[in-house]
């Protein structure tokens, strides 16, 4: 059961001059159902582009050879 802080008055109805039975309240924590798309998920995660394959791609042979030289 939502508390007083979790609710807000129904739009179009003010609380001034209305008794508590007349003033219906809607919980704020009830989320709207939305379809989660891959684009929306990438945007939520902070990726600037939809295509994030370059970020997780494997290193090339040249990069591996350069890393091996640095480790020697």
Domain total in the chain: 1
The Cα–Cα gap between 62 and 65 comes to: 5
Q: Range of 35's domain?
A: 4-71
Average pLDDT over residues 8-12: 51
The Cα–Cα gap between 32 and 2 comes to: 17
Q: Got the DSSP string for 15-56?
A: STT--TTTS-EEETT-PPP----HHHHHHHHT-SSS--TTTT
pLDDT tens-digit profile of 11-48?
A: 555 545 544 544 455 444 545 555 666 666 666 666 55
pLDDT of 63:
79
59: left (phi over 0), alpha (psi -120 to 50) or beta: beta
Higher pLDDT, 31 or 64: 64
Average pLDDT over residues 1-8: 49
pTM above 0.85, yes or no: no
């Amino acid at each position: 059961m939502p508390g007083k802080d979790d609710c807000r008055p129904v739009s179009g109805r003010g609380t001034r001059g209305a008794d508590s039975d007349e003033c219906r309240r809607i919980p704020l924590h009830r989320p709207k159902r939305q379809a989660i798309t891959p684009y929306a998920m990438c945007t939520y995660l902070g990726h600037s582009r939809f295509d994030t394959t370059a970020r997780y791609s494997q290193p090339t042979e040249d990069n591996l050879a350069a890393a091996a030289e640095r480790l020697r």
